[in-house]
Structure 1
Amino acid sequence: MIDLLTDLHIHTTASDGSDTPGEVVSRALRLGLKAIAISDHDTMEGIIPAQQAANGFNLEVLSGVEVNTYQKGNEIHVLGYLINPNNDEFISKLRELQGDRLDRIKKMLCKLKALNIFLELDRILEFSKGGSVGRPHVARAMQEKGYVSSAQEAFSKYIGAEKPAYIPREKLTPREAVELILRSGGVPVLAHPGLLKDSGPIIKSLLEVGLKGLEVWHLKHSPLMVQYYLEKAKKYNLVPTGGSDYHGTGHEACNTLGTTGAPYESVQRLKDLAQAYN
């Protein structure tokens, strides 16, 4: 039985979550969690506020980030754990990716306009609350104006992959993300591999450049998937991680904090690897 005292995949208002870092920490404390990782999309701005909120409490807040990468049109997410939030090279690359996110949103709005869907960039940026802007914020703006009844409908009809207003991102490949995380002293982990079309070749490719972990436990992984990826992790000596992919109580996904996680042993293995690099 898995000891659910950790949750290593959590989003905040620094990216597309609806809870502030402080609110996430408060929820984690009420749940009695031992360790969490703030892992926002392409930003680490939520980490230090979360660590400050947890100061003096029996809760470890690990630094994390979820880097959105693309390979042959497929979106692949790579988690990076225990990177120094002030690492110059890594922060510089994240800022570049955030700039690309803004350009991408602007192009998406042009495509939506051609479909008679009129949205204001300023309103979308308000939804992002100064954090990393993305498609979920566009979906919320569409829902607010009544163009769709839900964020899910926005993705399935307009802004999901291969839909009429979709704009692909090719700024960073999965291999480049793994290499960047390693150079920055972090531990690279492939996020929710069960959601990929064909994870086998992707895992093998990333092993070649130093992949260190697999997200085995995830809300959308079936028990069979969990067993499959746990065996993969053992086979390749990868750290098995897990988390709820929590985006906040006001988010469309409505994942619940602390319902999916990894044993604390995984946290210790991550820390051991990071210490070996530094």
Structure 2
Amino acid sequence: METETKRYDMHTHTRASDGMNSPSEQVRLAGERGLAGIAITDHDTLAGVKEALEEGSRLGIAIVPGVEISTRAEEKDIHILGYYPDIDNEQLQQRLASLRATRDSRNDLMIARLQELGLEITLDEVIAAMGRPLRSGESLGRPHIADALVHKGYARDLRDAFDRYLAEGKPGYVSLPRIAPLEAMDWIREAGGVAVIAHPGLYGDDRLVEEIILQGRPDGIEVYHSDHGPDEEKRYMALAMRHALIPTGGSDYHGVRQGEVFHGELGSKYVTADIVQHLQEKAASRS
């Protein structure tokens, strides 16, 4: 990545989904890290965006409204990032609420499966481990369950909880039917936003990634990510160039949980102002 003064981390999570910081805290941390801006891309919710926009305006930090939508293709979880959607779009809000309902059902099933394994854990204990009430529009995810497992002594740390129970293929993992990546892209574009394939390197299937590109025609692909090494960055930049996609990037920062930074530190992966401007212009062309 070319180093410029203005850096933008385009993939961050707040406690509106499974991050640890409030949106305001996230914006303040971005300022401390010398970032010009960040995207708020919580899972299946826009609940943290307005607070971040207010704090960003106060501090002079650019906030990119965003969301990360959970989808499924060929038995793999595929995430689609949406930038600059109309956050007041009622149809999008209703659609995201339906996804959170699916996520809630999945949480219930994962808790039940863990109980079948002999682990004494309840949803109330998962919420209690958060240390605060769950607010409207917020969603629970596997990291919250992992936290509770650590608090209950069933895992040493977050990584251990995933490796033993919650990662795909492990005994506590549950997958429910989800929308297809192409549908998520349509939702984002219909709300005036820009659709981007998140962290393609995590799927372990570049054939599937390219098929999604050919069928869905996303606007961009996340080239730079905390779990992408130099080889992945080179490969996905070539893919972006081949299909005329905007090459985006971000840390996927979730905050510090159980003493561990999940994915990467805020600002460790970023794009420069020209990429952000390209995304803005693409979204503006849909309004």
Please tell me the TM-score bracket, short chain as reference.
over 0.9
CA contact (8 A) 1:40 1:65 kept: yes
Distance 1:183 1:98 in 2: 19
The residue that corresponds to 2:270 in the other structure is 261
How far 1:206 sits from its partner (Å)? 3.1
CA contact (8 A) 2:158 2:257 kept: no
**Where in structure 1 are there 5+ consecutive unaligned residues?**
none
Q: What CA RMSD, in Å, does the superposition of the two structures yield over aligned residues?
A: 1.5
For the residue of structure 1 that corresponds to 2:285, the secondary structure is helix
CA contact (8 A) 1:109 1:118 kept: no
The residue that corresponds to 1:59 in the other structure is 61
For the residue of structure 1 that corresponds to 2:237, the secondary structure is helix
CA contact (8 A) 1:174 1:206 kept: no
- TM-score w.r.t. structure 1 length? 0.95
Distance 2:187 2:121 in 1: 35
For the residue of structure 2 that corresponds to 1:207, the secondary structure is helix
The residue that corresponds to 1:146 in the other structure is 153
Distance 1:112 1:201 in 2: 31
For the structure 1 residues 250 and 151, does the alpha-carbon distance in structure 2 shift closer, same or farther, using more than 3 Å as the test? closer
For the residue of structure 2 that corresponds to 1:242, the secondary structure is strand
The residue that corresponds to 1:36 in the other structure is 38
For the structure 1 residues 193 and 2, does the alpha-carbon distance in structure 2 shift closer, same or farther, using more than 3 Å as the test? farther
For the structure 1 residues 72 and 31, does the alpha-carbon distance in structure 2 shift closer, same or farther, using more than 3 Å as the test? same
The residue that corresponds to 1:123 in the other structure is 125
The residue that corresponds to 1:49 in the other structure is 51
Q: 2:116 aligns with which of 106, 114, 117?
A: 114
Distance 1:123 1:197 in 2: 34
The residue that corresponds to 2:283 in the other structure is 274
- TM-score w.r.t. structure 2 length? 0.92
CA contact (8 A) 1:179 1:210 kept: no
**1:183-213 Cα deviation digits (max 9, x unpaired):** 1111010001111111233233333223110
Letter in 2 for 1:34: A
How far 1:223 sits from its partner (Å)? 0.9
How far 1:118 sits from its partner (Å)? 1.3
Letter in 1 for 2:232: M
CA contact (8 A) 1:70 1:173 kept: yes
Distance 2:277 2:90 in 1: 26
The residue that corresponds to 1:230 in the other structure is 237
The more displaced of 84-93 and 1-10 is: 1-10
CA contact (8 A) 2:181 2:216 kept: no
The more displaced of 127-136 and 73-82 is: 127-136
Letter in 2 for 1:203: E
CA contact (8 A) 2:10 2:250 kept: yes
How far 1:156 sits from its partner (Å)? 1.4
CA contact (8 A) 2:70 2:79 kept: yes
How far 1:241 sits from its partner (Å)? 0.5
For the residue of structure 1 that corresponds to 2:221, the secondary structure is strand
Letter in 1 for 2:66: G
